[in-house]
Structure 1
């Protein structure tokens, strides 16, 4: 007996390894993920009954789909005033969507485990124009109405005992169709935004190139451009980064400032066409934070969009000439850069200086031109100019005030004196080029 006892101690237990550890799980029986236990007879009968009820419900649902779609459309016509006011073509589209939605639910109910693109099944029957003709809010109302009709028909459509399962299926499908609707409208908004951005850039480029015509007006109107009485172009350097983000930042700033704008990034330049009756510098300051560091130039105000080419050309010329005036304000008017633009070869600026300064002074009498010339170019004071002209200093003072009245520029101001001096030089060159006209 003791020997037997000793042998019994030395033999390993069937539930332990010789080392004392638990045995490894046996393949096919103890491993995790082993096949599910076989169903009992009662469980098999219950599963068969559920499948039979679901098949009966599916058959009744297929027969009732047309009736459900008709009921949904009738309720829309009864409850949704905007639906009744829609043109027949749009109402037909909505009818197609309602029918497709119920048909898609039927197919989804047949194969609930299959992943299907509900948006394609439902919204693929209607043209893309539907998202423009019907707002997202209206689409939500249409879906809610259709789902309500389906929920109310559950007792009639579902097979006896299958009502709860069908009600749960309708709720799950309603969630899926809601996400599909959001996806369709999000994709439409993205596509429309990309198209609008390209169209907006085309309008801005047409204004810069001088190709503005009635087609530009129609394209601008499609972008929401109104008919402002004042238009100007603001131009500066574009910041680094995604141009779409830059354009969107300009739009946000414009909405906040209640400005009507068209904008685009053209190469390294950020161009904004601003409409509205706000003072030009004040309007530009509302947008200036979106420009890259450096000068920002405001073109002259014009009466309409077709005339904005002139404002754009002046702003572009001013941007090129800003290097000659390092202390220029930001933003700066293109008209304040007339002397720098003239020196840079801008013919429009040269004509403007002659027409707005030299010609009015010439027509006001030779005394004003002579006095201004002596004061700016030969003398450094009123007294010095008076001695050279052999007149009293008060006479010089009076004539210089007349120069300010005629031109808007004060000879005693350093910046204005620079502009006047450039205008005098250009006026003399113009006079010398015209036969029979002598300059001062």
Structure 2
């Protein structure tokens, strides 16, 4: 039926005349349509009523611009009809995407279209009502695609900006910047969780930022705040992990699910700190541990930076040296000479209870008791291979420090 109608001479000219008449009617009604759309939004959209006057004016501008663009689009016909692009939103898109979510924008477009559809009967020229309804439906679909493009581009720009800001924060932390600016930057990224830990490891062999994207996605799925930066082949991640772990299990438990995303080699976890501005200490400890981890081939993955104190100390890390002295040597020294003497003799005699007892002229059970006290005070058992290594380095550093103070 339609094809027969199209073959009638003059039918196309009639449709063009009807379209032109409808376009003129629409043009005369643009102001009223825009005003009606804003009024309807105030009635139906609570988020619109709560907006500032400036933001509502942006929405009004978008509504007017959308109606005007529809009139221009409708006036054209056939292959010459202009495509709907982001320009349909005039000068507002950047401000709009900052103040209004995508869902709110969809609600806004729906209201504008409803206002136009409700007045199709009075807006269309005689014989043009169906033509106008079909045009409204098609235009609505194309505007929806245009809106999605705007928000997609805004999301891409935001993602790129976030990545640059993350890299800036990580770099500032590694260089010891503890200014209030770190909190401001963190707030811009939505940072809210504490305590904070840092991870350091090697990047996978593939180039680019994929490892950073994977780490961010995995951390956010677990509910963490995350900052990630890549420095050459090294990747540093800072996590705000919230209160889901006990303090003693926090660093490793939080880091374990992410360790597999790093490249081969050790993954080192810095100590937990109470806030983002203090995260530099955790990040620097993690990197120091990453440099020194090669000296402990059997280290777990991930491994605590504090567990690498001996290796870090041998490499010249002053914080690790001080930690060994303060947390291992000084407790032993403060407990009295019997413990230090017993430990020294025990280590020098291949961890032999009997040989140590003979050298000290005490019963082997006395040696056992003293060794257990050493383990309680320091957290390192002299009879354990790793523990004896930590204790040996700590005692040597403590004695050197005592000599330097004399």
TM range (shorter): over 0.9
Counterpart in the other structure of 1:386: 357
- Counterpart contact for 1:232–1:274, Cα < 8 Å: yes
2:204 and 2:367 map into 1 onto residues whose CA distance is 50
Instruction: Describe the shift of the 1:209–1:123 C-alpha distance in structure 2 as closer, same or farther (beyond 3 A).
Output: same
The answer to whether residue 171 in structure 2 is matched with residue 205 in structure 1 is yes
- Counterpart contact for 1:119–1:184, Cα < 8 Å: no
2:17 and 2:83 map into 1 onto residues whose CA distance is 27
Q: Secondary structure at the match of 1:232?
A: strand
2:122 and 2:369 map into 1 onto residues whose CA distance is 101
List gaps (5 residues or longer) in structure 1. 1-41, 436-440
Counterpart in the other structure of 1:256: 221
Counterpart in the other structure of 1:192: 158
1:310 and 1:154 map into 2 onto residues whose CA distance is 67
2:51 and 2:15 map into 1 onto residues whose CA distance is 44
**TM-score, structure 2 normalization:** 0.93
Counterpart in the other structure of 1:416: 387
Q: Secondary structure at the match of 1:264?
A: strand
1:115 and 1:347 map into 2 onto residues whose CA distance is 72
1:45 and 1:127 map into 2 onto residues whose CA distance is 43
Q: Which 10-residue stretch deviates more, 272-281 or 291-300?
A: 272-281
The answer to whether residue 109 in structure 2 is matched with residue 164 in structure 1 is no
1:380 and 1:215 map into 2 onto residues whose CA distance is 52
Counterpart in the other structure of 2:331: 360
Q: Secondary structure at the match of 2:94?
A: coil
The answer to whether residue 319 in structure 2 is matched with residue 348 in structure 1 is yes
Q: Secondary structure at the match of 2:117?
A: helix
2:350 and 2:32 map into 1 onto residues whose CA distance is 99
Counterpart in the other structure of 2:4: none
The answer to whether residue 181 in structure 2 is matched with residue 215 in structure 1 is yes
Cα deviation for residue 251 of structure 1 reads 2.1
Counterpart in the other structure of 2:47: 82
Deviations along 1:360-388, whole A, 9 cap, x unmatched?
21121111111111110135411101111
**TM-score, structure 1 normalization:** 0.86
What is the RMSD computed on CA atoms of the aligned residues?
1.7
Cα deviation for residue 82 of structure 1 reads 1.2
The answer to whether residue 284 in structure 2 is matched with residue 318 in structure 1 is no
Deviations along 1:204-234, whole A, 9 cap, x unmatched?
1111111131111111111111041x21111
Equivalences for residues 109-148 of structure 1 within 5 A:
109-112=74-77, 113-114=79-80, 116=82, 118-126=84-92, 128-148=94-114
2:139 to 173, 179, 183: 173
1:398 to 361, 369, 378: 369
The answer to whether residue 369 in structure 2 is matched with residue 429 in structure 1 is no
Cα deviation for residue 294 of structure 1 reads 1.0
1:394 and 1:388 map into 2 onto residues whose CA distance is 14
2:202 to 237, 240, 261: 237
2:141 and 2:111 map into 1 onto residues whose CA distance is 14
Q: Secondary structure at the match of 1:86?
A: coil
Counterpart in the other structure of 1:7: none
- Counterpart contact for 1:56–1:159, Cα < 8 Å: yes
2:237 and 2:13 map into 1 onto residues whose CA distance is 70
- Counterpart contact for 2:381–2:387, Cα < 8 Å: yes
Counterpart in the other structure of 1:9: none
- Counterpart contact for 1:257–1:286, Cα < 8 Å: no
Instruction: Describe the shift of the 1:116–1:188 C-alpha distance in structure 2 as closer, same or farther (beyond 3 A).
Output: farther
List gaps (5 residues or longer) in structure 2. 1-6
2:370 and 2:64 map into 1 onto residues whose CA distance is 87
1:243 and 1:203 map into 2 onto residues whose CA distance is 19
Equivalences for residues 277-316 of structure 1 within 5 A:
277=243, 278=245, 279-316=250-287
Instruction: Describe the shift of the 1:117–1:289 C-alpha distance in structure 2 as closer, same or farther (beyond 3 A).
Output: farther
Q: Secondary structure at the match of 2:177?
A: coil
1:399 and 1:58 map into 2 onto residues whose CA distance is 98
Structure showing greater Rg: 1
Q: Which runs of 4+ in 1 moved over 6 A?
A: none
Counterpart in the other structure of 1:11: none
1:252 and 1:120 map into 2 onto residues whose CA distance is 30
2:310 and 2:271 map into 1 onto residues whose CA distance is 15
- Counterpart contact for 2:293–2:308, Cα < 8 Å: yes
Cα deviation for residue 261 of structure 1 reads 1.9
